[in-house]
Amino acid sequence: MVVLAHMFPNADVPVVQLSINAVQSLDYHLDIGARLAPLRDQGVLIVGSGNIVHHLGRLDMARPDSGYDWAHRFNEAVVGALVDGTPDAILDLEGSADYRNAVPTPDHFLPAIYFAGLAKATGEQARVLVDGYAFGSLSMTSLAIG
């Protein structure tokens, strides 16, 4: 995971990587995220890496630091659910008009669902660490709880 290389440049922490089953429902992944919550009591840092909005087919190099309207709407809806403490609301977004543009394939979005499950299980609200967009169709949002 590239993110960890920046966080721990000496590679002195153990890492367990989970595979994502993209054919399972969002509910399935929300449940797995909730099941990871007890690991935090054992001192385990849980990191998810992906993008809330990730559509490489819609990249626009003329927009290096901005996002399409649909990218903003979808990203803000996901972040809103996590920051407001209503992580279950993220599941309703699968039926939103912006979902197909924001999530053409689930692989980059599912880490956000795991994160929502973790937030739900702990009752903690997320906070935004980094916010921004790149090339129209990528959100660069980073969130944390705890």
Pick the CATH number of 2-144 from 3.40.830.10, 3.40.630.10, 3.30.300.30, 3.40.50.1970: 3.40.830.10
Beta bridge partners of 143: 128
Distance of alpha carbon 90 from alpha carbon 12, whole angstroms = 34
Which pLDDT score, from 0 to 100, does residue 5 have?
84
Task: Give this prediction's pTM.
Answer: 0.90
Which pLDDT score, from 0 to 100, does residue 1 have?
59
**Closest C-alpha among 79, 128, 80, 72 to residue 101:** 72
Question: Element (H or E) spanning 102, and its range?
Answer: helix 99-102
- Of the two residues 60 and 50, the one the predictor is more confident about is 60
Distance between terminal CA atoms of the chain? 21
Contacts with 20 (C-beta within 8 Å, 6 or more apart), sequence order: 29, 106, 107, 110, 111
